[in-house]
Amino acid sequence: MAEILLFHHAQGLTPGVRAFADEIRAAGHIVHTPDLFDGRIFDSIEEGLAYIGQIGFDAIRERGVQVADELPRELVYAGFSFGVLPAQKLAQTRRGARGALLFYSCLPISGRWAFGPWPEGVAVQIHGMDNDPIFVGEGDIDAAREIVAKVDDAELFLYPGDQHYFADSSLPSYDADATALLITRVLAFLDRR
């Protein structure tokens, strides 16, 4: 059994994010799903990003880091898109991390936006669609490939399609087949933690 801290995307802690967490719980794992937006759910990515911009990207990311302070250190950190920011920061900087699950987004491990090198012994899975204009078009796939090239236990899974939030069953971008495969891969990853 693994314990996971799962961060939502820019539209908030949607019913689809909650449903995803429930599937992981049903497999016997503990999943924490903090609400970094205090109950707000947005109709679009743009509206969510506008809210994040008002509060500040760093401030919202730090809310996620503070949530971790109340939990054990031996966690798997997971995030959907914007939620990758706190998840990846914690996986790379908080001692005791068991792994990282990065959905639809990935930050580089070198350069200006990096949290530093990937820590030894922290496994990572990265999931995205092969034609997602955000994941592919904005360079996250390049960051993911850098991690896979430099980290011993790192996997990048690409799914056919062009949707960003493809594993959120409450949104029109949902892809049931891709999500089923993603969950199978995530559960195999968690079973090894």
The DSSP secondary-structure symbol of 9 reads: B
The CB-side HSE value for 122 (13 A sphere, CA atoms) comes to 27
**CATH number, domain with residue 23:** 3.40.50.1820
With a cut of 80, say whether residue 27 has pLDDT above it.
yes
What pLDDT score does 102 carry?
98
Based on its alpha-carbon atoms, the radius of gyration of the chain, rounded to whole angstroms, reads: 15
User: Tens digits of per-residue pLDDT, 116-162?
Assistant: 899 999 999 999 999 999 999 999 999 999 999 999 999 999 999 99
Number of structural domains (the chain) is 1
Per the structure, the complete domain to which residue 168 belongs is given by 3-191
Most confident of 13-17, 62-66, 112-116, 117-121: 13-17
Q: Where does 17-152 show beta strands of DSSP type E?
A: 30-32, 76-80, 99-103, 123-129
Residue bearing tokens 């990065």:
102
Place of tokens 């609400």: 35
Q: Where are the beta strands (DSSP E) in 35-181?
A: 76-80, 99-103, 123-129, 154-159
For residues 141 and 94, give the distance between their C-alpha atoms in angstroms, rounded to a whole number. 24
pLDDT above 90 (res 179):
yes
Place of tokens 């497999």: 27
Helices (H), the chain: 15-26, 45-55, 57-68, 84-93, 140-150, 176-191
Give me the pLDDT at residue 193, please.
Answer: 85
Q: Which residue has the higher pLDDT, 137 or 61?
A: 137
**Per-residue pLDDT tens digits for 92-114:** 999 999 999 999 999 999 877 78
Residue 58 has pLDDT above 90, yes or no: no
